[in-house]
Amino acid sequence: MLSHQMFRALGDPTRIRLVDLLAERCRACSVSELADCLDVDLSVVSRHLALLRAAGVLRAAKQGRTVLYEIQFDALAESLRGIADALERARDDFVSSAPCTPSTDTDSEKGTAP
């Protein structure tokens, strides 16, 4: 699924750092653990995680009173493949289209007074 939400979610440096942290740890992490690592307020991290979850980048699972977040690798990979496919199609369309004709000196002189 290719969505503007994913671009928006991944367009913030703090959210990218959160995704990087989760990828490095290769396990689910709590909000407080992530906040401690980033030296960012718990409420700020919580808002960022909620946005990443809503965009389909992360999933959350409750374990007792703690919510653990982890990357949804399959969904993220599918979205990134969708982006790559769209870029390849655009490139192919661009390559197969007629090339632009370079302007000549006479073209640039049109409309100018002698």
Q: Write down the CATH number for the domain with range 4-75.
A: 1.10.10.10
Mean pLDDT of 3-11: 84
pTM more than 0.75: no
Question: What is residue 80's predicted lDDT score, i.e. its pLDDT?
Answer: 84
Write down the domain spans for the chain: 4-75
Partners of 30 in the β-ladder: 68
Torsion of CA 42, 47, 53, 57, to 10 degrees: -80
Residue 79 · residue 6 · CB < 8 Å? yes
1 pLDDT more than 50: no
72 CB-near residues (< 8 Å, 6+ apart): 56, 57, 58, 59
Partners of 63 in the β-ladder: 66
Question: What is residue 109's predicted lDDT score, i.e. its pLDDT?
Answer: 56
The DSSP string of 49-111 is HHHHHHTTSEEEEEETTEEEEEE-HHHHHHHHHHHHHHHHHHHHHHHHSPPPPPP-HHHHHTT
Polymer length of the chain: 114
108 pLDDT more than 90: no
